[in-house]
Amino acid sequence: MPKRSDIQTIMVIGSGPIVIGQGCEFDYSGVQACKVLRREGYRVVLVNSNPATIMTDPQFADATYIEPLTPEMCERIIEAEQPDVILPTVGGQTALNLALALHQRGTLEQQGIELIGANLASIQLAEDRQLFKDAMTEIGLKSPPSAVVSTVEDALRVAETLRYPVLVRPSFTLGGSGGGVAYNEADLRTIAERGLMLSPIGQILVDRSLLGWKEYELEVMRDARGNFVVVCTIENLDPMGVHTGDSITVAPAQTLTDKELQRLRDMAKAVLDRVGLATGGANVQFAVNPADGEVYVIEMNPRVSRSSALASKATGFPIAKIAALLAVGFTLDEIPNDITKVTPASFEPSLDYVVVKIPRWNFEKFAGVDRVLGPQMKAVGEVMAIGRTFPEALQKGIRALDIGVMGFGSRLEDAPPESLRLPTAQRLFQVASALYKGMPLQEVAETTGFDPWFVRQMADIIQLQDDIISHIPALPEGERAAALTRDDFLRLKRYGYSDAHIAQLVSANEADVRAYRVMLGVTPSYYRVDTCAAEFEAHTPYLYSTYEEGDESEPTAKPKVMILGGGPNRIGQGIEFDTCCVHACFALKDMGYETIMVNCNPETVSTDYDTADRLYFEPLTAEDVLNIIAVENPDGVVVQFGGQTPLNIAHALHRAGAPIWGTSVETIDLAEDRERFNGLMRELDIPQPDGATALRRDEALRAAERIGYPVLVRPSYVLGGRGMKLAFDRDELAAWLDTQIQWNGHPVLIDQFLDDAFEVDVDALCDGETVTIGGIMQHIEEAGIHSGDSACVLPPYKISLYHIEIIREYTQRIGKALAVKGLFNIQFAIKDEIVYVLEVNPRASRTVPFVSKATGVPLARYAAMIAAGKTLAELDFLDEPRVDGFFVKEAVLPFQKFPGVDARLGPEMRSTGEVMGHASSFGHAFAKAEMAASTTLPLEGAVFISVNDFDKGAVVKIARDLHRLGFTLLATSGTAYWLETVGLPVTTVNKVSEGSPHVVDQIRAGAIQLIINTPRGGRAHADGALIRGAAHLYGVPIITTMSAAMAAVQGIRALKQKPLRVRSLQVHHGQG
Amino acid sequence: MQGCLALEDGRVFAGVGFGAEGVQTGELVFNTSMTGYQEILTDPSYHKQIVTMTVPHVGNTGINPEDVESDRVWVAGFVVRALSPVVSNWRTQGTLDEYLKAQGVIGLSEVATRALVRHIRDRGVMRAAIAHGEAASEPAALVELACQSPDMSGWNLVDDVTCAEAYHWTERSDPQWYRQHRYDPAGPLVVAYDFGIKRNILRLMTDRGLRVTVVPAQTPAVDVLALNPAGVFLSNGPGDPAAVGYAINNVRQLLGKVPVFGICLGHQILGLALGGRTEKMRFGHRGGNQPVRNWLTGAVEISSHNHGFAVMPDSDLSGAEITHINLNDNTVEGLRHVELGAFSVQYHPEASPGPHDSLYLFDEFVNRVKSGETKSKE
């Protein structure tokens, strides 16, 4: 069927901020959809609240709205843009839910808008657990015995008949939010209550737990003619019971016979038929009993998903792109396969390699979180690795995680055998340890629930160490690598061993191992991901390494640049860096370079084979990157866009002779080495907070006395504020030192804490000689909150021109002194009229995409061009851009996913994503940002205030304003007393410790619409944690700093004065 | 133990032998199915072929007594990247290594199979010698042996694989593998020519109520007609269809007298019987992911393939229409001659291994057989 000609304008809904369970895979799918729909001549209107995405770059849509993903805001966009249809299937659960809401409000019908790619009936059928289950029964497919309930009491009754343990899953939530396994009645009460709360329709499904069953996923597509293909089969290493986003997964499925697999294929097709998915991609999950092959259908997602992004990267079959084409009427056979060029998309990819996906968690940032994995996803990112065999792919995946583990068995974590039963982030390493110590394979398989096939493959990896390493003779250091023969190397390499791991095993250094290996001629071949197992020639250079004959890289002789990506997403290093990498790639392409992308994150746009000219899907270790450099021989290697990961290997690359473009390794070192950097600041006469380094406990305590409490302490060499602590007194510092620090030669850094300071972030460009500022952002939260977790506003709204001038001048001085070539970011703090420099990062920062959206200036693009030799003058970018209106960036935090974790903000970054609000006034922009972050500011009702003594002065004005705006004031006794003394009417509410009815009861009862709660000090009340926990659980907006409270008051006032308006970036920047 | 694969053009691939020891020659082909190695091993169409699997891990699910397509392994040799060191599946009853050893078939693991496949893709299928054991240490001799082995073109291999005498088939398929499993009561008789027939074809016909008598390939048409069948089935099989002259003649005599359905070699023989021409393809189609368009409905079927020859679309097919084509390379994949009541497909609707998209062809055959029966009764 030809494409539809009755459509002109298509509205694409994005997935909003990156949250656990909904990551940047939807940026990838959204970008693909926007690109291909525009190529087909449609006008694309995009709405997404997330400024860090690539899809929200104005070049990907005709009208780009960075606005809150609420039905109200969407309606305004619909009014302005008059789309004919909405494509809701590439923006995750958020987009589907929004489409559903627009339907329920009657908007779609009133405006005559059609949904394409999915219909409402099928969304409802797939999402409503009971409807889905009934539908499955109707077509003769089994689902786990279960019941849908709407009350805790019913849940308990059902559990009695199903027998514990039971699995609880709320309806209509993403990433299994609020789900859990209940082993007894008490568990079930807690989990059911939370689940009912989180489900937008107050409904949960209580399932018999299928712990121990094997889990499979089929990624499928169908077109309007009913043509159906299975793009990829995925087998989970972790058995049922662990969310697929938290599972290590393998493609293609390894332990099914053809008959068993075809049965799943037939079932998947039947599920699609029944759910009625008209066109597009879907994923169907199955549980298979390893004892007899019995199959249960678990769920079906009628949209592209995290798994479909993975399947696209794993197979070379771009599901989202094809789904978008199918949605506008094409059929699979009318769409060519990009990779072979000669064959159509109506086929099923055949894989002649193995793909392993490993999740990346950040549990260390969330004290108190339950680290056991279950039905609710907890991972913040993932890596994918491609190898010819499972062992090779597994080992590549492990080193790609960038957690300092260089292979399977390079980190051993001893654990009692029974703890292997518990799925955790450490289990893989515990299994390595168990195998290393000789636990019988069968026992490992039984306790973990891993299929014996995988366990044996893992055991073979360990066995190889024994075979080879234990038989090499003892040699003096420096010669140990030479004990390995060419054959040894080949065997190790074919099992995926990294040089670093081999170095660890033979007690040699990595560079020696590498040099010796290369001398022996053991170097990788690059094979192509071609969708067809080499049956047809691959025209797209999408490559992975393996140690086998027949290199297919076919490097060209063109001028070329390699761009190193950021690796797995994690807190502190997320989609922002991928956006920068992609921009760098486009810029260098436009300059005539062939671009080579290296990355291992399957969720990203950078690993779309459409982005760079050549894609190497490889771990970002020095070894893997140097291997590619040896084959490609690029003119330049760009390390400044992928965050800290590529920067960490810059030294090794430089030493090995790689041509690092842009900011030099020397400059990187100067900025990162604290002593050298302090020296430079003294030289430049730029103030820094007082600080010291300590190698011993007493040194640290003495330094803190000298500097004066509170102090900010952290171990040296940290990322994203990892391990940072704000210590208010000696006891607190001592306790932290005693529990968090092993004194092993790495210093602890102790810095003066600039209490009540304003923080400012600057992103700037320097071509080595000239500096141009891209944007100056003021943090809304005061100092002490990690910059990544703080809301910020561009331009600054409360800083004097005088201070801004000083900031500009310092930025110039630092950029020139460091001779940065490209982007750099400086964090400043202003306290008592003094501007301090806190930190300089000689690379693209987290805020670059935000600044680019706000200013319309493509900073990453310019930085790449500077790296390639352009000057700012040549780029005609010598003046700091003027900003029209206000742009507020708000952080989105994952506390809802981590019940039990104290939701207070601090120096350790914990947000997973961000949103942007823009408007002509600060208040509106802030209100929009809050709305986009799902903490819509209330316009009426009750506000509960409980602040620490330091903030009691400041809170009076806030309380008075809220009172005048019509809010009822509630407060705990201390705060209430204070407010009463200034004559404000306030109702005292019990602290939890004072007994019911207390504040948490009130929150639960819906009697509180806004919470202002400022914790302070290490011994913040348990009460505070309970309040914050309840606020996140019940979705009540909570504000934990005075400055944010003031901003919120401005936002509420603005909302009451004038309704919010929407504006596309194109119109805003005068390109519309 | 040492193993080696030597190609007629002199290229040699090293590997580690498994299964039986010794030397064997055959036509070197590759299959892109990611599952179903046991079905592939036992498919008589692979007679005299050394099969390379593109999927790296093979042997993972072991061997079970159910998933066989005939009573023995037919491949001349089996080449994989990584023989599984362990077996894991609830139906397994043995390992691939033991199985091939017992069947006297040489396996080769640790082979650079992707490089091998690209070689064949670029130069076409070719003869090769596979060796496990001492013989593997003399690759030059193996190359020589490959060169001396017979070429697939012009080679009648049906004689090797067909049954010695006629038999009735009654086994049905296991209902658990089919969503809409058919269990029709036994009805009209169909005679199936065994050119190397796969058991799943027989099961699917039996499921649909056909009584099936399997006859040796050489059975004269008059003998078949004497059984008064309601339909005749032409099976899949190995070798060059043009070399099976007697079969072509027999089919000519049957056409118009009884509904005829052919699969794979059966399709080629029907094409030849209609006056068409077959040609050897460069490297054929072998896999479970091939897109075939059914011109009668417009639908695309993902289908299972195993053929190295094809009916040429420009040859004279006596007015038969081309009903199915392969969307990858436009190969003829299906024929229909309405007046003569014959139809055929080049690919494998019985799958096994492969997707079940084309099962409808068996229903069509049953319908034709039944409607033909009704007509003759009138």
What number is the ipTM of this complex?
Answer: 0.98
Residue identified by tokens 């329709």 is: A201
pLDDT at site A72: 95
Residue A643 has pLDDT above 70, yes or no: yes
Per the model's pLDDT, the better-predicted residue between A517 and A277 turns out to be A517
Question: From residue B250, how far is each of A155, B257, B345 by CA, in Å?
Answer: 70, 12, 19
Number of DSSP helices (H) and strands (E) in chain B, helices first: 10, 19
Chain B from 28 to 67: CB within 8 A of any A CB: 30, 32-36, 38-39, 54-57, 60-61, 64, 66-67
Q: pTM for this structure?
A: 0.95
Query: How high does pLDDT run on average in chain A?
Result: 92
Q: How far is B101 from chain A (nearest CA, A)?
A: 21
| Residue A567 amino acid letter | G
| pLDDT band per the 50, 70, 90 thresholds, residue A521 | very high
Q: Which amino acid is at B373?
A: E
Place of tokens 């140990």: A480
What size, in residues, is chain A?
1072
pLDDT at position A236 over 80: yes
Q: What is the spatial distance between Cα A335 and Cα A194, in angstroms, rounded to a whole number?
A: 45
The first and second tokens of residue A43, run together, are: 């006008």
Ramachandran angles phi, psi of A162, nearest 5°: -80, -25
Residues B114, A342: C-beta atoms closer than 8 Å? no
pLDDT for position B375: 52
Interface test with A, best of B40, B114, B204 (most A CBs within 10 A): B114
Mean pLDDT computed over A331-353: 94
Residue A1017 has pLDDT above 60, yes or no: no
Q: Which is catalytic among the residues B267, B324, B348, B356?
A: B348
Amino acid letter, A482: A
* Residue A1072 predicted with pLDDT over 60: no
Q: Is the peptide bond before A541 cis (omega within 30 degrees of 0)?
A: no
Q: Is the pLDDT of residue B113 over 70?
A: yes
Question: pLDDT by residue (tens digit) across A660-670?
Answer: 999 999 999 99
pLDDT over 90 at A350, yes or no: yes
Distance CA A379, CA A361 (A): 4
Contacts for A190 with CB less than 8 Å, ≥ 6 apart: none
The answer to whether A389 contacts chain B (CB < 8 Å) is: yes
SS (H, E, C) A1000-1012: HHHHHCCCCCEEE
Q: Looking at the predicted structure, is the pLDDT value of residue A175 above 90?
A: no
**Residue ranges with strand state E in A145-259:** 146-149, 166-170, 180-182, 204-208, 214-222, 228-236, 249-251
- Position with higher pLDDT, A1034 vs A821: A821
The helix/strand/coil state of B26 is strand
The pLDDT of residue B374: 54
- At A1018 the pLDDT is 47
Predicted local confidence at residue A176, as pLDDT: 60
Contact A152, A192 (CB under 8 A): yes
Residue A681 token pair: 């600041």
Which B-chain residues 73-132 have CB contacts (< 8 A) with chain A?
81-82, 84-91, 112-115, 117-118, 121
Q: Which of residues 815-844 of A touch B (CB under 8 A)?
A: none
DSSP one-letter string for A277-340: --SEEEEEEEEE-TTT--EEEEEEESS--HHHHHHHHHHS--HHHHHHHHHTT--GGGSB-TTT
Query: Per residue in A672-726, pLDDT tens?
Result: 888 899 999 999 999 999 988 888 999 999 999 999 998 989 887 555 556 788 8
Interhelix angle A92-104/A71-81, nearest 10 degrees: 80
d(CA A99, CA A110): 14
What span, in angstroms and rounded, lies between the C-alpha atoms of B18 and B22?
A: 10
Residues of B in contact with A349 (CB under 8 A): 289
Q: Which two tokens stand for residue A825?
A: 């970011």
* Residue A440 in this model has a pLDDT that exceeds 80: yes
From residue B378, give the alpha-carbon distance in Å to each of B256, B371, B375: 17, 11, 5
Cα–Cα–Cα angle for A320, A324, A326, rounded to 5 degrees: 115
Could you read off the pLDDT of B273-324 as tens digits, one per residue?
Answer: 999 999 999 999 999 999 999 999 999 999 999 999 999 999 999 999 999 9
pLDDT at A173: 66
Distance between CA atoms of residues B13 and B293, nearest Å? 37
Instruction: Report how far apart, in Å, the C-alpha atoms of A1002 and of each of A590, A620, A944, B206 are.
Output: 59, 50, 10, 70
Contacts with A464 from chain B: Cβ below 8 Å: none
The tokens describing A263, both together, are 């049965």
Q: State CA A252 to chain mean position distance.
A: 25
Local confidence band at A895 (pLDDT 50, 70, 90 cut-offs): confident
Least confident of A481-490, B246-255, B359-368: A481-490
**Cβ-based neighbours of A384, under 8 Å, separated by 6 or more:** A310, A313, A314, A355, A356, A357, A397, A400, A600, A601, A602, A617
Report percent pLDDT > 70 for chain A. Answer: 98
Whether A225 and B287 lie within 8 Å, measured CB to CB:
no
Res B377: pLDDT = 43
- Residue A607: the pLDDT is 97
Instruction: For residue range A556-601, list pLDDT tens digits in order.
Output: 999 999 999 999 999 999 999 999 999 999 999 999 999 999 999 9
Is pLDDT larger for residue A1024 or for residue B197? B197
Residue A264 exposed, middle or buried by CB count within 10 Å (0-12, 13-18, 19+): buried
The conformational region for residue B354 under phi > 0 = left, psi -120 to 50 = alpha, else beta, is left
Chain B segment 340-359 residues within 8 A of A by beta carbon are 351-357
A3 interface with B at CB cutoff 8 Å: no
Q: Could you give the strand order of the β-sheet that contains B278-294, starting from the edge strand earlier in sequence?
A: B167-169, B211-216, B189-194, B231-234, B260-263, B342-345, B332-337, B321-326, B278-294, B300-311
pLDDT one-digit tens code per residue, A466-511 = 888 877 777 777 777 888 999 999 999 999 999 999 999 988 899 9
| pLDDT value of residue B142 | 97
Between CA A575 and CA A568 the distance in angstroms is 10
Q: Model confidence over B142-160: pLDDT tens digits?
A: 999 999 999 999 999 999 9
CA B177 from centre of chain = 20
d(CA B4, CA B109): 9
Q: Which residue of A has its CA nearest to B174?
A: A259
CA distance B21 to A33: 54
pLDDT band at B373 (very low <50, low <70, confident <90, very high): low
What amino acid is encoded at A985 in this protein? P
Computed from CA positions of residues A249, A255, A258, A259, in that sequence, does the dihedral angle turn out positive or negative? Answer: negative
As a whole number, mean pLDDT of residues A395-411 equals 95
| Cβ neighbours of B67 in A, within 8 Å | 257-259
Phi-psi sector, A574: left (phi>0), alpha (psi -120 to 50), beta: beta
Pairwise CB contact (< 8 Å): B299 & A226? yes
Question: Is residue B264 annotated as a catalytic residue, yes or no?
Answer: yes
Q: How does residue A1016 score in pLDDT terms, banded at 50, 70 and 90?
A: low
∠ CA A453-A454-A457, rounded to 5°:
90
Q: Is A436 on the interface with B (CB under 8 A)?
A: no
**Residues 155 to 184 of B: which have CB under 8 A from any A CB?**
176-179
- Region of poorest pLDDT, from A204-213, A742-751, B338-347: A742-751
pLDDT for the residue A1022 = 66
Can you read off the two tokens belonging to residue A262?
């075809």
* Chain B residues near residue A388 by CB distance under 8 angstroms: 56, 81-82, 114
Contact B112 A549 (CB under 8 A): yes
Residues A281-291 have pLDDT tens digits of 999 999 999 99
Q: Which residues of A51-68 are buried (b: 16+ CB within 10 A; e: fewer)?
A: bbbbbbbbebbbbbbbbb
- DSSP 3-state assignment of A396? helix
